[in-house]
Every structure is written in structure tokens, then in C-alpha cells.
Copies of this chain bind each other. A is one copy, B any other.
Amino acid sequence: MTDLWEHGGMHRVVVVGAGFAGLSAARALIGQPVDVTVVDQRNFHTFQPLLYEVATAGLESGDVAYPIRVIFGKADNVSFRMAAVTGVDWERREVILAEDHRLPFDSLVVASGATARFFGIPGASEHSFPLYTLTDARRLRDHILRRLEDVDSHPEGAGARGALTFVVVGGGPTGVEVAGALAELLDVAVEHDGFAFDREAGRIILVDALDRLLTPFEESAADYAARTLSGRGIELRLGHLVRAVRDDAVELDDGTVIPTRTVVWAGGVTVEGTVAGDIGAPTGQNGRLLVGPDLTVEGHDDVYAVGDAAAVPWGGGEDADKVCPQVAQVAIQSGAHAARQILARVAERPTEPFHYKDKGIMATIGRRAAITQFRSGRVLRGTLGWLAWLGLHLVYLVGFRNKIVVFVNWSWRYLSWGSGPRIIVGEESVASDDGEPLASG
């Protein structure tokens, strides 16, 4: 642990954000001749690819959260600061924290991520549940479980008021994963938890503006996903825009009104409204920070933007100008690249351009059904795709303990569905049906 005011002339790096990108940058700087401070408003890293499992009561919160201090506890040159970042003072080269506390820097890595994008659809931000933070996931879980309790206690008119209708907006990987996991949760609730309603009373509707699922995947993979979801009873409404979200219904562009108390928002992300917008640097589409080939922010030699917050250029040959997708692999690779460029400059070497190494993409649709698509376009699907997905996610889960616990949770669930953390942690004493997200934290 090094106090910043005692840095003794060491090059000071501030990393804003401890998601995949920020962690990757800070880890690459452990033991290097720089003083690093990681700033995040939360004291834990969130393994975002599995948030949908928390939201559907398959995993505990703690299974996908890892304390940041534990990661850097033994690194003498990396410290952690739990604080919200409000801006950057470019004159004094300081990151501004809440209550005007300051963190001076020589190099800055902006890895502040993104947030849900509602496209200005009326009611969407008020009445739907995004799935980007652990709090989002836990609020959604509490809400879903409360709906089940509510229907069990008050079955009269449950269908008409949409109490058991779950609408998922967005047919990308997150939407497909949530829809698949919701179907499994309903199966389990009826089979094992003694709920009185019929499984058929539960409806899951997946809406997307495009007429196919999983755009980044090959057509055949998308078809497989559509068939699998339909086979599990999920209704697909492809080629439809959401016109409005109300507390008791969703309206589509063809005038359809779907009564529902639960709209899961997996419709995309934006950097607008996040810290990246407050630092006063040029931004592009969706508010992503514009960066050069070496990932430095325009006009700032010593400021890097990485991960979801940045419009990371693909680099390399023919794809050099393409912008990378906002996925974990890009975050991890761009974070590490920024760290290497900082070290290069400290050593007075020139920086190098980023080049994304595409390792393929994955999406899971539920129990024993997933898609793994390699860069070649080759697609693994079904049980094999699912095992590949499972293995990769276990390997990437930060922390050995988490791997064991997640493995135990999953094994147990797949063996029996007997347990699983189907607990409502929000402290509202009565199952309410007012459509309001309940406070849960």
C-alpha cells in the first residue's frame, strides 16, 4: 500500500473502474515500476457474464462478486480506493472524486464501463429491469420470486394482470440467456417448490427489433437458438419494436399490448450517462470514448480508454478500422494493452497499436444447450457447446474459491434442483403486485 503523497517520484497510474478492463490493466501493472490506484464505487469486481444466473436464482450474489482488495492485497504497488468518480481536472491532472476528494495521476486508464440503453422508449427506464450490475440482478431476482409468491397467494386473475408473464427485451446473448434461465426457474418452481399454479400459466416472451436472434452469430446458430427457445415454450416476437413500457404492460409497434409485471431490459448498452461522459474527452456512437490505435484518448497522450467505455479499434489487417464489440474479451485484452503502453512510455519506448485477438463468442440457452462460435465461423452447439461454455466460464471466474462454490452450486442444481438460492432478500414484508422494483440493494 503506498500513499499517493508519498509516491516518491514513481509514475502514478489511476485506473477508473474494476470491471474486466480495469482489473486486467491493474493486474498487468503488479510489480512494475509504477504506483497504481484502482478506483471503483463498489468494493468488488462483478463477473457480469453470469449476472443472469443471479437474476434467475441459479447462483448467489457472492458467486459472481469478488472483493477487489483481495486481488491486490499482496501487490505493494497497487492500492484500492472505494469512491465515485465525478470528473477529471485536466489542468492539475487529478481524478475528481465525490466530495471533491482528488487523486493525482501521471497516466489515467478509463475503464468505467457502460450502462443500460433505453433508446428513449417511454417508461423503459422506470418500469423495466436492466441487468448490468449485481444490484440489478438481485432486484430482478427478488421481483421474479415475489411474482411467484403473489400468484400462489392470489391466483384470481393472475393471467389477465400478467403476474406470470415475463417479457425479455433484446435477442442478444443476454436476452437469450435470461429467457432460457427463466424457463428453467419456472419449471423448478412448479416441480420442486410446491407452487400451486400450472407451468403453462407462466409465459416468457422474447422481443427483438431484428428478425433474428444473436446478431453476432452465424445464421445457423441463431436458428438453433430460436428452435431451442421455442421448444422450451418461450414465445419469440422478432421484428418488433417496443413502443412503451408501463407498470402493467408492454406495448409493441404493431399495437399489441402484453400485460406483464416484469420486463427484463437486455436491449443494449450505452456509455452515455456514465463517468466516461464527465471527463471531457471526445466521444462517438453511444457515448463511447474515441481512442487512437494505441488506445489513448484523443488529445491526451497519457490517458487510455478501454473496455465497454471505449470505441476500441479492432486493429490488425483488414479489420483495423472496425470497432470491437462490448464484450469481456475485448475488455480484458484492451485493459492489458493499455497497461503495456504505460510501461513502454515510462521506459521511454514508443507505444504500439492494439490488435484484438478474437477467441470466438458464446451464448447459453439453458441446461445443456449453448452455442460456441469460433472465429472461423465454426459453431459448436448443444451439450458440447454447453460444456465448452461451462468450462470457459469456470476458468475465467475470478478466484479459486468462487470456482469451487459455483461448481458446487451448479452440480447440485443439475443433480437435483433441490436447493439454489431462491430467497427474497428485499425486506418488504408482503408480496406486492404493484410492479415496483422492490428495494433490495
Which A positions have Cβ atoms within 8 angstroms of B? 1, 3, 41-44, 60-62, 65-67, 69-70, 72-75, 78-84, 97-99, 101, 134-135, 138, 145, 149, 152-153, 189, 192-196, 399-402, 404-405, 408-409, 412, 418-427, 429-431, 439-441
Contact = CB atoms under 8 A, between A and B. Distances in A.
Contacts of A429: 41, 83-84, 98
Given A69-B422, A70-B422, A422-B69, A401 B405 contact: no
A192 B73 CA distance: 5
Contacts of A439: 439, 441
B402 A69 contact: no
7 contacts: A61-B423, A62-B423, A69-B189, A70-B419, A80-B152, A83-B431, A401-B409
Which of A62, A74, A78, A192 has most B Cβ within 10 Å?
A62
A365 to B, nearest CB: 25
B412 A425 contact: no
Contacts of A98: 429-430
Nearest to A417: B70
Given A73-B193, A82-B431, A430-B99, A67 B149 contact: no
Contact of A60 (B41, B60, B83, B101): B60
A114 to B, nearest CB: 17
Contacts of A72: 194
Nearest to A398: B419
Contacts of A82: 149, 152-153, 424, 430-431
A425 B61 CA distance: 9
Given A72-B194, A98-B429, A98-B430, A419 B66 contact: yes
A19 B40 CA distance: 38
A432 B42 CA distance: 13
A420 to B, nearest CB: 8
Contacts of A194: 1, 69, 72-75, 78-80
A412 B73 CA distance: 17
A41 to B, nearest CB: 4
Given A153-B83, A419-B401, A430-B98, A196 B3 contact: yes
A161 to B, nearest CB: 16
Contacts of A62: 60-62, 421, 423
